[in-house]
Chain A
């Protein structure tokens, strides 16, 4: 089983819908991250959390919200999806300062 699991793996939805992407991990890491990846733009950080009570905005948080339900779970919500949020979304975890991050399989999201 994967250490960092994202659900769903693929999602197609319509403009204006609310969408939740979920991430769970069995690595025991405190830090969790959400990224989106677009062709030519690389990985961009949306939100990150260093523990259950800590939530921080990344470079592109507008239009997104997150919830850290437990150490192992970090979900990303799009309150009202728009087509330019079509992208590949990754969750990642790490176990400390200046430590590498470990990524989930990704969620391919298409908004029509």
Chain B
């Protein structure tokens, strides 16, 4: 089992839709989690950090469920510009200062 797993998608949604991605992690000692956005063949860019139960930034909400060991990313009112790959990452515990990344979830927002 991979340490961090994501549904690769692709998710195809119309503009204005709400879409949610889940990311599961296997290392219960993980303490910090991150969502990154990556455009095609470009660098991952930090979207959101999650240190406790959740975080919200505008249209984006991340939630952490430690009991079930998953984090979610909710995007409301999707824009065409939200089309990208979304990577989740886990840090802490036995990973000793490293991040473990999921494979990424592809989102396409269409008109």
Residues of A within 8 A of B (CB): 31, 33, 40-43, 45, 48, 50, 58, 88, 90, 94, 97-106, 108
The answer to whether B45 touches A100, judged by C-beta atoms less than 8 angstroms apart, is no
Interface of B is mostly: loop
Q: Mark B16-43, 1 if CB is under 8 A from A, else 0.
A: 0000000000000001101000000111
Q: Which of B60-68, B75-83, B95-103 contacts A (4 or more CB under 8 A)?
A: B95-103
Q: Mark B33-57, 1 if CB is under 8 A from A, else 0.
A: 0100000011111100101000000
Interface of A is mostly: strand
The answer to whether B41 touches A88, judged by C-beta atoms less than 8 angstroms apart, is yes
A104 in contact with B31 given A42-B104, A48-B98 (CB within 8 Å): no
State A42–B46 Cα separation when bound (angstroms): 16
Nearest chain B CB to A99 CB, angstrom units: 7
The answer to whether A43 touches B43, judged by C-beta atoms less than 8 angstroms apart, is no
Among A33, A90, A97, A100, the residue within 8 A (CB) of B34 is: A100
